[in-house]
């Protein structure tokens, strides 16, 4: 899989709107994957996160969820299997910039460790060329 559109993503992970936070996979090579999240003002979380007249900023928890979803996509490709992936750990999460409506959040994931039903994935999020977030995501899969 080099690229994946939204329909192919929906075939791989169990989430749907409004919780699906990956719009497209742009590349995958070996144990690395790059995906996009197009951030719009219509996202449901903007209604309550710093509501008007405050700034519209994507919540860090939603950025981490996007990282977990990208990690799950990569893990499915590397580990195979069809089980549901569960987020079981977030290590070293750092937020270095804001993600706002109109941004394209680029999530770059790299497999760090993989076993048959567990994995650890390093993920970095960028807006333009700026690093805005990073974390190590641990997932466990059932069969």
For the chain, which domains are there? 6-141 (3.10.129.10)
Of 12, 24, 49, 124, which one is the catalytic site residue? 49
Smallest CA-to-CA distance from 70 within 104, 121, 115 is with 121
Reply yes or no on whether the pLDDT at 1 is more than 60.
no
> For residues 133, 126, 139 and 3, what is the CA-based torsion angle, rounded to 10 degrees?
180
DSSP designation for 14: S
Note the pTM of the prediction, 2 decimals: 0.94
Distance CA 67, CA 20 (A): 11
Q: What is the pLDDT of residues 11-27, one digit of tens each?
A: 888 888 888 999 999 99
Q: Across the chain, what does the average pLDDT equal?
A: 92
Residue 53's pLDDT band (boundaries 50, 70, 90)? Answer: confident
Reply yes or no on whether the pLDDT at 81 is more than 80.
no
Distance CA 34, CA 143 (A): 26
Active site residue 55: no
Residue 119 CA to chain centroid, in angstroms? Answer: 15
């Amino acid at each position: 899989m080099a690229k994946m559109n939204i329909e192919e993503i929906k075939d791989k992970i169990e989430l749907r709107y409004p919780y699906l936070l990956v719009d497209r996979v742009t590349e995958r090579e070996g144990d690395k994957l790059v995906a996009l999240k197009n951030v719009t003002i219509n996202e449901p979380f903007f209604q309550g996160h710093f509501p008007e007249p405050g700034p519209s900023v994507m919540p860090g928890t939603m950025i981490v969820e996007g990282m977990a979803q990208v990690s799950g996509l990569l893990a499915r490709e590397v580990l195979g299997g069809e089980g549901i992936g569960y987020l079981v750990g977030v290590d070293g999460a750092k937020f270095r910039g804001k993600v706002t409506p109109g941004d394209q959040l680029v999530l770059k994931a790299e497999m760090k460790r993989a076993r048959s039903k567990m994995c650890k994935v390093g993920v970095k999020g960028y807006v333009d060329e700026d690093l805005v977030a990073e974390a190590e995501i641990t997932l466990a899969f059932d069969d």
